[in-house]
Amino acid sequence: MSTEGLTHHISSRYNEDLERLRASVLEMGGMVERQLQQAVGGLTEPDEQVIVRVAQEERRVNQLERLIDEDCSRILATRAPTASDLRLIITILKTITDLERIGDEGEKVAAIAARLANRERPNDRYRELRYLGELVIGMVHDTMDVFARLDTNLALSVLRRDRIVDEEYEAIHRQNITFMMEDPRLIRRALDVMWVVRALERIGDHAKNICEYAIYLVRGKDVRHTKLEEIEKELRAPKS
């Protein structure tokens, strides 16, 4: 399935509706990605105001989610979409839920970043958080690319990276437990770090979900709750 296949409806208004929807989802994805960059940036560069800007963006994301929802309902009601059109609408409806939650998680990160801003920072200035944050931002960025270009190979790459995120999460988790046991004065900071890592890990999961929806859109096959190896196999096989 190619994206240009989506532009040949007999009804040009239907085409326009679907195109506009796709564009809105990409716009929403762009906002969420910006939000994340600001939030993660706030972790490394002390910035008390980061939460204000991120929260502003978050309100716009929520607004867009509602608009897209409304458009989808209207198309379902008036066009009764089928086949790839139907899969597109379903994919969009689910995608924006995950995008909105990525936004929520980003806001959490920003709130903690603002709090950490006027507290003493560790020597490595949260190096591991920056690494994980950039990994996750890259995933979100590529996820929107997957949606824009319906690129299932890129989707696979995001799914693979989610495994790394999970491993990182485990590692940082263990590290912070060690810190807390060694020096109880660090508990407060370690807990904040844990909240951030948890949020980033969740963002990875949401990106993974969206990539799975995109695979459904392209292949017509539901690959949620499926082992990565099986998804790889499915994508190598010709479309059934």
Partner 1 sequence: METRVRSVQSEPQSVGFAPASDIDSGVIPIRASGRGLQLAVDESRRSAALSAPVKARVESLNFFYGENKALKGLNMEIREKQVTALIGPSGCGKSTFLRCFNRMHDLTPATRYEGRIMLLPENMDLIAPIVDAIEVRMRIGMVFQKPNPFPKSIFENVAYGLRIRGVRSQIRIQEEVEKALRGAALWDEVKDRLADSALSLSGGQQQRLCIARALATNPEILLFDEPTSALDPIATARIEELIAALREQVTVLIVTHNMQQAARVSDYTAFMYLGEIIEFDETSRIFTNPGQKATEDYITGRYG
Q: Which of 82, 118, 123, 153 binds partner 1 (CB under 8 A)?
A: 82
Q: Is 53 left (phi over 0), alpha (psi -120 to 50) or beta?
A: alpha
Q: Which of 2, 4, 83, 120 binds partner 1 (CB under 8 A)?
A: 83
For partner 1, which is the closer residue by CB, 92 or 116? 92
Using the Cα atoms of residue 72, residue 74, residue 75 and residue 76 in order, give the sign of their dihedral: positive
For partner 1, which is the closer residue by CB, 1 or 135? 1
Counting residues that bind partner 1 (by CB under 8 A) gives: 21
Separation CA 230–CA 123 (nearest Å) = 43
For partner 1, which is the closer residue by CB, 67 or 90? 90
CA gyration radius, the chain: 20
**94 sits near partner 1 (criterion: CB under 8 A):** no
> Which residue type occupies 61?
V
Q: Which of 4, 77, 80, 124 binds partner 1 (CB under 8 A)?
A: 80
Instruction: Choose the binding region for partner 1 from 4-12, 69-77, 111-119, 167-175 (rule: CB under 8 A).
Output: 4-12
For partner 1, which is the closer residue by CB, 11 or 123? 11
Alpha-carbon distance values, 39 to 79, 89, 151, 168 (Å): 40, 30, 28, 19
Q: Which residues contact 186 (CB under 8 A, 6 or more apart)?
A: 179, 180
Alpha-carbon distance values, 213 to 140, 149, 166, 210 (Å): 14, 13, 20, 5
**208 sits near partner 1 (criterion: CB under 8 A):** no
Site string for partner 1, 161-200 (x = CB under 8 A): ----------------------------------------
Distance of CA 12 to the CA centre of its chain: 31
Give me the count of residues in the chain. 240
Separation CA 121–CA 214 (nearest Å) = 40
For partner 1, which is the closer residue by CB, 37 or 84? 84
Q: Taking Cα atoms as reference points, which of 192, 132, 119 lies closest to residue 162?
A: 132
**Least Å distance between CB 235 and partner 1?**
15
For partner 1, which is the closer residue by CB, 14 or 179? 14
**Least Å distance between CB 81 and partner 1?**
7
Site string for partner 1, 49-78 (x = CB under 8 A): ------------------------------
